[in-house]
Amino acid sequence: MSTRVGIIAEGPIDLALLPPILRKLAEERAGVSWPVQIADAFEWLQMRPRGHGGVWMAIRRIVRVLQHQPEMPYAFIVILLDRRTQKIQKKVRKLIAGKDRFVLAVAQEEIEAWWLGDRTNTLAWLDFRNPPAGTRYAAADYLAERHDKPKRTLHELTEQSARLDRVYGEGNLDLARDFAERWDGNVRLKEIETQCPQQFPPFCRETTQAFRRTKSRGSRLVQGTLGLN
């Protein structure tokens, strides 16, 4: 028995960082004791576009397909956008209204804010006991969701970490994947909720409900493909 969850996100770093969060929510909040498999729904759709425009195209296509063929190879799909996509968010919310197989996740800035919100794991990954003096992360009033450039904060931290041989820059997929490996099974949800109080708690609630609905329906991994034309 297993549950397969699809992700529709703007880029590969989102795809690296979101699965550990989803698996932790399933285990810790929804009581799911069987494996949770996370898949890129763009591959199922045979689509390449990314960015928020690509997300919108993908959702439209899935909703159109489900009108004719109600089965899809996922228990539900998580759609990840950031705060700057207000118009797309409104369109997506309208399109998925009343459909319980979709969860819309909105990161206040970027998913890196959720990463930084888990201070315990972030500092351990960097091999720091405390954030380096002078960095944003060391500020007494630091709140991950409030800072508008989480990538820059990660860049500052990776510049000073003796453990790493590269810096984060505007987004380093190898580093994101390296952190995700450490994060899997260890995500501290409450820390992220405290650091990202506006967007992360609603996402946790909605995703937990989606996993619970999956439990009530009877978890299963649906194999096969749909006609997407």
Q: What is the CATH number of the domain that holds 31?
A: 3.40.50
Residue 222 has a pLDDT of: 37
pTM across the whole model: 0.87
| 92 and 157 together in one domain | no
Which of residues 127, 157, 173 is at a domain's end?
Answer: 173
| 17 and 32 together in one domain | yes
| 49 and 155 together in one domain | no
189 in a structural domain: no
40 in a structural domain: yes
148 in a structural domain: yes
Q: How far is CA 146 from the centre of its chain?
A: 18
| 115 and 141 together in one domain | yes
Residue 218 has a pLDDT of: 61
| 1 and 95 together in one domain | yes
φ, ψ of residue 104 to 5 degrees: the values are -95, 120
Residue 51 has a pLDDT of: 64
| 8 and 92 together in one domain | yes
| 78 and 131 together in one domain | no
21 in a structural domain: yes
| 5 and 104 together in one domain | yes
Residue that the structure tokens 């091999």 belong to: 127
φ, ψ of residue 35 to 5 degrees: the values are -60, 145
| 102 and 115 together in one domain | no
Number of domains within the chain: 2
Which residues contact residue 199 at a Cβ distance below 8 angstroms, ignoring those fewer than 6 apart?
A: 83, 105, 106, 107, 108, 145
Q: Which residue range forms the structural domain that includes residue 136?
A: 110-173
| 6 and 56 together in one domain | yes
190 in a structural domain: no
Measured distance CA(36)–CA(22) in Å, rounded? 8
| 118 and 213 together in one domain | no
Residue 46 has a pLDDT of: 72
Render each residue's pLDDT in the chain as its tens digit; 229 residues: 789 999 988 889 999 999 999 999 999 999 999 999 999 887 887 766 566 667 777 778 877 777 776 778 899 999 888 776 677 778 888 878 887 888 988 887 789 999 999 999 999 999 999 999 999 999 999 999 998 899 999 999 999 999 999 999 999 999 999 999 999 999 999 999 999 999 999 999 999 999 999 877 664 443 333 333 3
Residue 227 has a pLDDT of: 34
181 in a structural domain: no
Query: Three-state secondary structure along the chain?
Result: CCEEEEEECCCHHHHHHHHHHHHHHHHHHCCCCCCEEEEEHHHHHCCCCCHHHHHHHHHHHHHHHHHHCCCCCCCEEEEEEECCCHHHHHHHHHHHCCCCCEEEEEECCCHHHHHHHCHHHHHHHHCCCCCCCCCHHHCCCCCCCCCCCHHHHHHHHHHHCCCCCCCCCCCCHHHHHHHHHHHCCCCCHHHHHHHCCCCHHHHHHHHHHHHHHHHHHCCCCCCCCCCCC
75 in a structural domain: yes
Residue 52 has a pLDDT of: 63
Cβ count near 197 (within 10 Å)? 16
Measured distance CA(182)–CA(101) in Å, rounded? 29
Angle, vertex CA 126, rays to CA 143 and CA 204, nearest 5: 45
Cβ 182 vs Cβ 124: under 8 Å: yes
| 43 and 87 together in one domain | yes
